[in-house]
Amino acid sequence: MAAAKFSFNTRRIPSEAMVSLLTGKVSPSVGDLVLARITTIGQHTRLQTQEGRRARLYKGDEVVVCYGNRYAAKQFEAIVPRSLKRCNLVASGGLAATVTSSHTRMKKATEIEPLGLIGDSGGRPINLADWSLPFRPANCDAPNLVIAVAGTEMDAGKTTTVAHIIKGLHRAGFGVAAAKVTGTGACGDYLEMCDAGATTVYDFVDAGFPSTHRISMEDLERIFSSLIGNLQAAKPDAIVIEVADGILQKETSAVMCLPLFKNIVNSVVISSGDTMGAKAAVEWLERFSLPATAISGRVTESRVGVQATEEATGLPVLNIRSLANPEKIGNLVPKICTPALRVLGDRF
């Protein structure tokens, strides 16, 4: 494996732990590492490395990636195969699966030939869960401001919204930690949070899963609790979390309906591309007693869209300049602080 390209999703696992290759009649599981050869270059022409570099792929390259399911309405839906048969690279963060459907704008998925599951010194498959963060349950009484960003769909502007909220809070003097709690593992969102000023950043890969599609409710709750608990251990003033895809996606809505989510999150900022989506999202949040505070996302690209959305939802619509402005974010914070967090609001 010395010449192989190691994907971003494998970043927690030291190479010295990878000492055997399991071949033959083995059945992959979500999170298992696999050594594979690129056989056909398709949609994904680059692989995100452990360092976050986007390495170009060539036919014949060997890569180390993880098996996992994928849900991406504007890219691929894919599932873990039952054997080491040829399958696909379905995400540049390093996800191996068999494509079951794709968006019409997508090229055929890049094809890979698994050479074997990567094992430890005892001949057991190495799984992301073996190297996950220690489980720390979330503390509902911790004095953290917790802002969640959820979207109406994929590419609604969630990551950009998250990054600028982090930047605004950072400029205002807050110590900020951040996490992405659902989705597909990739370096983009993770590094955006780091670049914006979050001092501690995690995602579900750190909790042992390369993606959250098709995992159990128990695992979703454990991921959410552990990520929040580990962020709280860093003692930030504020925590910003991103929930992937649209709020009607199965795992996304499941996480947001968790009693723990409702008890932890002080505010939900909605990213939307249009007024109707924003209005529907606000009504959905109200139905589940979740605190919608503001709208952002691609809808802010139009002044008319901003006006229409504010009229339709009764909420402020904030573009990225406003979110990153310490004075503007300062006007938002006191509105979402609970009595235990007034010390944060009193800064402004």
Task: Report the C-alpha gap between 84 and 39 in whole angstroms.
Answer: 14
pLDDT at residue 336 above 70? Answer: no
Q: What is the sign of the dihedral through the CA atoms of 321, 324, 327 and 330?
A: positive
The residue-averaged pLDDT of 228-244 equals 96
User: What are the tens digits of pLDDT across the range 130-170?
Assistant: 999 999 999 998 877 899 999 998 888 899 999 999 999 99
Closest to 115 (Cα-Cα) out of 166, 174, 60, 69: 60
Asked whether residue 247 carries a pLDDT value surpassing 90, the answer given is: yes
On whether the CB atoms of residues 319 and 296 are closer than 8 A, the answer is: yes
* 209-227 per-residue burial string, b: 16 or more CB within 10 A, e: under 16: bbbbbebeeebbbbbbbbb
Is pLDDT larger for residue 166 or for residue 341? 166
Give the pTM: 0.93
Report the C-alpha gap between 94 and 138 in whole angstroms. Answer: 29
Q: Is 276 exposed, middle or buried (0-12, 13-18, 19+ CB in 10 A)?
A: middle
* 22-68 per-position pLDDT tens digit: 999 999 999 999 999 999 999 999 999 999 999 999 999 999 999 99
Q: Residues 167-213: pLDDT tens digits?
A: 999 998 889 999 999 999 999 999 999 999 999 999 999 999 999 99
Burial of 182 from C-beta contacts in 10 A (0-12 / 13-18 / 19+): buried
Q: Each residue of 249-265: b (16+ CB within 10 Å) or e?
A: bebbbbbbebeebeebb
pLDDT at 153: 87
Residue ranges of domains in the chain: 5-131, 145-345
Q: Does domain 145-345 have CATH number 2.160.10.10?
A: no
Mean pLDDT of 116-125: 96
First to last CA, the chain: 54
Q: What percent of the chain has pLDDT over 90?
A: 85
